[in-house]
A = this chain, B = another copy of it.
Amino acid sequence: MKTASYVTRLGLDAREAGYQLATAPSILKNKMLTSLARLLRERTEEVLAANTEDIRAAEEQQLSNAMIDRLRLTTERLEALAGSVEEIAALPDPVGQVSQMTLRPNGLQVGRMRIPLGVVAFIYESRPNVTIDAAALCVKSGNAVILRGGKEALHSNLAFATLTSKALTEAGLPPKAVQVVETTDRAVVEELLKQKETINLIIPRGGEGLIRYVDENSQVPVIKHYKGVCHVYVDKDADPDKALAIAMNSKVQRPGVCNAAETLLVHQDIADRFLPAFIKEARTCSLELRGCPRTCAYNPEGIVPATDDDWPAEYLDLILAVKVVDNYGEAVAHIQRYGSEHTDVIVTENYTTAHDFIRSVQSSLVLVNASTRFNDGGQLGLGAEIGISTTKLHAFGPMGLEHLTIEKHIAYGDGQIRE
C-alpha cells in the first residue's frame, strides 16, 4: 500500500512537471543539459564515491565480472557521459515542429505539431549511465521521466539524481521532471506498470526476462526490443570480397550486441567460391561455425553440425550459424521464419534482387552490401538513441528524440462550423 501510494505520487508529480516541460523553450532545456554536463565534470568525486559503494556491494555479492564492469563508473566514463549530454543539447528540438499545413476547402488551415508524449518511465538493469542518457533525451524532448534502475546501481543512480535535479533548478525547470525511484523494492515495478493515468510510455532495457515481464504485465504502452537474430545473405551474384568483409564485420566486430549477425545464408551457386575463404577467415578469429550439412561438407572436422535450435538462436557470442540455401526465395523465407525483424543484409551485385530484398524483408533495418552493425541511431544519422525498437508500432528500429514525441493536429479557423 505504501509502495502503491509512493508510485502514484511519482506519476502525478511527473505529469505535473511534464505539463510545464511540454511548453518549455529549447533554450531552457538546453541550459539544463549544459548544466548537467558541467556538474558531471565538477562533481566527479561525489559520483565515483557513490559508485564505489555499489561496486563494493556487488563484489560482496559476487556478481559476475561482466556485471561489475557494466556497473563501474570512471572519470573517463563520466567525461564520455558529459560529452553525450552535450551532443543531445546540440541536436534540433523536435517539439513544436509543424508539418503538413494545408488549407481545407472551407478555409480552415490544418496541420500537425510535434508534442512530447508526456511522461516516460524507464525500467532498466545494471548500467547507471542509462540514468543520465534517458534523463537527457527526455528533457530535450519535453518529457518528464521516471527512472527505475537496477538495485545494484542505486547509489550511483541517486548521485546522478542529485545532479539532474540541480541542473533542472538552475535552468528554471521543474526538478520533478526527472525522478529516480529511491527504493529497490521490486513492487515498484509492478506498480509502475499500472499507472496508465499518468505514464504514457514504458521503455524496458535489460535482459530478456525483464523485458518480457514488463511487456506482459504492463497496462501502459511499452516499446521494447527483444532480440536481434540478424542475417547476412550472400546471394549468387555477390561480390565474394564484399561478402567476406561484410559477413565477418557483421559477426565479429562486436559479437555481444543486438545488431551482430547470428546466421549466414549462402546461395548454393556461390558456396564453392565463398565458403572456403570464409571458413578460413573464421578460424583466424576463433569464430565457431554451426553449419547445415552442405556447409559442414566444406570442413567436416572444423564445423559443428547445426541443430534446429541454431536457426532462431541469438548467440551474442563468437558463434555463427551457417546455411546453404537453394535460391533467393529460400533465403527470404528463412529470414521471415527465424528472424526477429531486427537487421538483415543482402550481399549482391544484382539490381533486381537487391530491389526485391529491400521491399520484401520487413525488418527494422534492411541493407544491401553493408554490415548489420549499422543499425544504430548514430550510424543512421538520428543522433543519440534511446534504443532499437522491434515493436512494429510508433517506432521501428533506432529510436531517436523524434520517437519521444507524437504529432497532434492543429487547426486555425475564422469561425468555421460544420454544416
Contact = CB atoms under 8 A, between A and B. Distances in A.
A391 B216 contact: no
A417 B245 contact: yes
Contact of A371 (B354, B379, B416): B416
Interface string A390-419: 011110111000000011111111111110
B415 A365 contact: no
A183 interface: no
A125 to B, nearest CB: 22
Interface stretch (A68-76, A113-121, A156-164, A165-173): A113-121
Contacts of A369: 412-416
B200 A23 contact: no
Contacts of A413: 367-370, 374
10 contacts: A200-B393, A201-B393, A245-B415, A253-B418, A367-B411, A370-B411, A371-B416, A374-B411, A374-B418, A375-B409
A394 B223 CA distance: 11
B370 A408 contact: no
A397 B354 CA distance: 37
Interface string A349-387: 000001000111011111111110111000111000000
A249 interface: yes
Interface residues of chain A: helix, strand, loop or mixed (majority) = mixed
A102 interface: yes
Interface string A207-228: 0000000011001011100000
Contacts of A2: none
A117 B393 contact: yes
Given A369-B416, A373-B418, A396-B407, 18 more contacts: A19-B336, A19-B362, A104-B379, A110-B374, A118-B362, A216-B219, A242-B414, A249-B418, A253-B417, A354-B412, A358-B410, A358-B412, A363-B408, A370-B413, A394-B406, A396-B406, A396-B408, A397-B408
Interface string A97-111: 000001010001010
A96 interface: yes
Contact of A408 (B354, B364, B417): B364
Given A393-B201, A418-B374, A411 B365 contact: yes
A379 B245 contact: no
Nearest to A15: B336
Copies in the complex: 2
A322 interface: no
Contact of A417 (B96, B221, B246): B246
A264 to B, nearest CB: 15
A17 interface: no
A385 to B, nearest CB: 12
Contacts of A417: 245-246, 249-250, 253, 370-371, 373
A303 interface: no
A362 B118 CA distance: 9
Contact of A115 (B246, B362, B414): B362
A409 B365 contact: yes
Contacts of A196: 215
A203 B222 CA distance: 16
Interface in A313-364: 336, 354, 358-360, 362-364
A418 B371 contact: yes
A145 to B, nearest CB: 15
Contacts of A379: 104, 108, 418
Nearest to A196: B215
A354 B362 CA distance: 43
B358 A416 contact: no
A362 B393 CA distance: 21
